[in-house]
Amino acid sequence: MSENTLIQKKPDTALILLGCPQIPIQTSAALYLSGILNKKDVNVTIGGTKAARSLVQIADVDGVYTGGAGRMQDLDAVIESMADGTFDTDVSFVFVHNEAGVAYTATIQAISSGTVIAVVFGGETEARMNELTEIGCPAVTAKGSHNPLPLKRKIDGVISWDA
């Protein structure tokens, strides 16, 4: 399946699940993806560890991307509410740069009824893509840690759907 057909129809809701924030482009890519989804009238929830959420939230002074009730969620709370069926989204973007990110992707695949897409970046993208292929998860990928443009282009490619 090509990147631009991963999302078949317009989602009403989306989850952006952040990984460990040690790779700089994660925060930029998350804010960008959230902004683009907001412009397309998709209700976005961002989940992550306290550090990952703080990096996003502090950069978003006016709460443009992170404001509103329920739009920023603790990582564990997202997993638990999806697992118990009280929360779900039409599409989930799971940010992946290490093995733990692949495990979180597999978890979201198991507990969400929506489409799951891994957003892969960092210095070990080949290994991560192989692991994601093993679990059958579609992904967009751009190798690198500091320049967000290649990943932005990949994100642009996946944010399209039939009207």
Cα separation values, 120 from 20, 42, 92, 130, 145, Å = 12, 22, 13, 11, 11
> Does residue 126 touch other proteins according to CB under 8 A?
no
> Does residue 127 touch other proteins according to CB under 8 A?
no
Tell which positions 84-113 bind other proteins, by CB under 8 A. 84, 98-104, 106-107, 110-111
> Does residue 79 touch other proteins according to CB under 8 A?
yes
**In the set 6, 11, 16, 19, which binds other proteins (CB under 8 A)?**
19
Between CA 41 and CA 50, with CA 44 as vertex, the angle to 5 degrees is 160
Shortest CB 147 distance to other proteins, Å = 22
Count, in order, helices (H) and strands (E) of the chain. Answer: 6, 6
> Does residue 149 touch other proteins according to CB under 8 A?
no
State the helix-helix crossing angle for 25-39 and 149-158, rounded to 10 degrees.
30
Q: Which of 74/156 has CB closer to other proteins?
A: 74
Residue 5 C-beta-side C-alpha neighbours within 13 Å: 2
Residues lying near other proteins in the complex (CB under 8 A): 19-20, 22, 49, 52, 75-76, 79-80, 82-84, 98-104, 106-107, 110-111, 135
